[in-house]
Structure 1
Amino acid sequence: MLSLEEMMYSTSWPLNYSSTLFDNLTYNNTNVTDPSSGGNQFILPWWRQMIWTVLFAGMIVVATGGNLIVIWIVLAHKRMRTVTNYFLVNLSIADAMVSTLNVIFNYTYMLNSHWPFGNLYCKISQFIAVLTICASVFTLMAISIDRYMAIMNPLRPRMGRRATLCIAVAIWMVGAILSLPMLLFYTTFTQNFDNGEVRVICYSDWPNRSDDGLSYGEYLYNVIFMILTYFLPIGSMTFTYARVGLELWGSQSIGEATQRQLDNIRSKRRVVKMMIVVVVIFAVCWLPFHVYFIVTSYLPDITNEPYIQEVFLAIYWLAMSNSMYNPIIYCWMNSRFRRGFAQFFSWCPWVRITPEPNLSRSEAVTSRYSCTGSPDGNARISRNGTVRIPLHLQSSRCIAGGNGAGTRFPVHHRGHGKRWRTSQSRGHVS
């Protein structure tokens, strides 16, 4: 059997998605981790530390600040409190947590391969890392499913605030369950060098390790975790957004549409395009991280190559930088978020807030009195811009919803023939 110290420096299963950076490297390279070597050999030159510090500090500031602003925009403005935006708040909470409670501490550890934050926060930091990853990816899945249901099944009732909050809570609970092994199996080990230096390592100590220091339970957990938090969500979101895109851009039908119906469809298209960009950025940022661990699982000698420490720093930075891109995407692709950011930075002399256009009288009336299942939400648009309204929606119950104030529609009364009312006279159709 290997001793604890020998086991730490032996080859670990490299698919450890949540392990602190350089577990692989520090456990494989026995030459530089030998206490008799004279000290910790993982400390980078000062000028490289400065470059990485600038990159990580900028990412942390943008990610934390941007996501907090997104949370403020949604919660402080009543018009922004939609189902999709509530999920975006959930996503922003996860991104802000990982940038402040995990990246700062992990980056410090990665820079010098020394963990100065104690055994308890070694566990907490890794717990937060896995928890926020789960919350982010499951929230993206929830958004894609919500968009899919809203567009593919427009006659079904939309999800309410209570259901949205319940789903958000369930996402965090599932993430906490998947993160529980981090609290149980992460610990620290103190290494004393001959020159008096002390190095503390935060590492995973799974039970039932073999003689060569490997744990099949850890390997199985990391493989399952990778499938649940990357390949399965990416596959699911690819399917849902492909179907939604085909519905919004590819359906062919004939007919005419009001301007409000066209605006409604364009609005749905903008939201879907924004979320597709968010998902693509997520997939691109995390792909190298997964590929690295897959490659090193079959070619462990790669971890002994020169500059592998900085290669891993670059991969880790790219994965963690995903948390700073989402607020930028919202500001770029959504006019309401863009206006919210402008309001937040209104104290800057170069920021101008454009006045929000007022609704016309007809838009205000139809917006207030549109009935459930109105043609605005269920029309199908073709490639040439025309819209076909389904026959079941062309009844007297809902035709008034999209034509503005004063629209007349027939109401049949038994024994009294046909009578006419305007949509302005009542808030619903009798």
Structure 2
Amino acid sequence: MVFFAFAGNVLVICIILKYKKMRTKINLFLLNLSFADLIMVTFNAMFNFVYMLNSHWPFGDVYCTFSNFIANFSIGLSVFTITATSVDRYIVVVYPLKARTSKKTSAIVILVIWLLSALLAIPTLIFSTTFTFEYSEGEKRTLCTLQWPDGLSGASTYDYIYQVIFFVLTYAIPMTSMTITYTVMARALWSNRMVGELNEGQREAVRSKQKVVLMLITVTVIFGVCWLPYHLYFLYIFHNLELSAEPWVQHFFLGFYWLAMSNSTLNPLIYALLNKRSVNVVCKSQFEFLIF
């Protein structure tokens, strides 16, 4: 999964950066989303896999802090990007006569998204820590976790409040906003009355918008499905802390974590399957590689 996520997102980034015709405003947001996915799989997923596999963190205190920061930072980066994309498409579809935002404005929005994501992840920089304990006779293990003022992650009220805020800002509000915007856009684009009043050129423009919106709706739905169990696990386990000691719970958590990480693998596939221009450019880049 990590291999395909890494390869897929690197390919998306290279294509958008290499081909000028791919540097559209919408693709700037997709580029940012690919960066978020690439950051997650490169600097967090594999290290966490080793950690979960052995129940031991061998990468040191500094990287523990960095890994925890990257996890929350990349989540914010992803969800804020797809939310901003939905707002941008909403303006284009619902208010077609309104002046469109420029690429420069989109770049500023992306910069703000990076700053907000970093700000949201700051608690992980402050409270991340490692501690070593004796697991069995002659064997020691190191944990990478958050040490809040009132206790460790999972048993801390501060941690629970942070998880609630994180869930609201990176899931509840964005998913509600995107549900509303895409519902309004779908009604506008798939209205039989509107399509009947257009000439052929306008119908083609509408069909083009429909394809883009369909792709973005798919990205949003996949994100929502992949990340919901992960968020709910941390909120639920605080109220049933004794449940975390059950041996089968770890398997559920690993499943939820795998599902969340799989989102980074699925996004490049969605771009390829639902974006005809991307498919054409990918085929061209592969042909150029073979000729070279």
Q: Secondary structure at the match of 2:144?
A: strand
The code of the aligned residue for 2:139 comes to E
Q: Is the 8 A contact 1:69 1:344 kept in 2?
A: no
Find the counterpart in structure 2 of residue 78 from structure 1: 20
1:269-418 residue pairs with structure 2 within 5 A? 269-346=210-287
In the alignment, structure 1 residue 172 sits paired with structure 2 residue 114: yes
Which of 252, 267, 272 in structure 1 is aligned with 2:193? 252
The one-character-per-residue Cα deviations of 1:337-356 (angstroms, maximum 9, x if unpaired) are: 1112223333798xxxxxxx
* Structure 1 partner of 2:75: 133
Aligned to 2:164: 223
Q: How far did residue 216 of structure 1 move? A: 2.4
User: What corresponds to 1:97 in structure 2?
Assistant: 39
What is the aligned-residue RMSD (CA, Å)?
Answer: 1.9
Q: Secondary structure, in 3 states, of the residue corresponding to 1:200?
A: strand
Q: Show structure 1 runs of 5+ residues with no match.
A: 1-58, 350-430
Query: Cα 1:110–1:124, aligned 2, differ >3 Å: closer, same or farther?
Result: same
Give the match's secondary structure for 1:306. coil
Decide whether aligned partners of structure 1 residues 256 and 153 sit closer, same or farther in structure 2, where only a CA change above 3 A counts: closer
User: Which has the bigger relative contact order, CA under 8 A and spacing at least 6?
Assistant: 2
SS of 1:157's partner is: coil
Q: How far does residue 240 in structure 1 lie from its aligned partner after superposition? A: 0.3
Structure-2 separation of matches of 1:157 and 1:262: 21
Describe the shift of the 1:247–1:111 C-alpha distance in structure 2 as closer, same or farther (beyond 3 A).
same
Which residue identity does 1:243 align to in structure 2? V
The residue correspondences of 1:410-429 to structure 2 (distance < 5 A) are none
Shift of 1:291: 2.6
List 4+ stretches of structure 1 deviating above 6 A.
none
TM-score, normalised by the number of residues in structure 1: 0.64
Q: How many angstroms apart in 1 are the aligned matches of 2:136 and 2:188?
A: 68
C-alpha distance in 1 between matches for 2:195 and 2:211? 23
In the alignment of these two chains, the number of paired residues is 289
Q: 1:120 aligns with which of 62, 69, 81?
A: 62
1:212-232 Cα offsets, whole Å, 9 max, x none, are x94322221111111000111
Larger Rg, first or second structure (1 or 2): 1
Compared CA separation, residues 170 and 348, structure 1 to 2 (3 A): closer
Larger helix share, 1 or 2 = 2
The amino acid across from 1:207 in the alignment is P
Q: Cα deviations across residues 63-102 of structure 1 (Å, max 9, x unaligned)?
A: 1111111111112111111111000000000000000100
For 2:241, give the aligned amino acid: P
How many angstroms does 1:335 deviate by?
0.7
Structure 1 vs Structure 2: percent identity of aligned residues?
45
How far apart in 1 are the matches of 2:136 and 2:95? 69
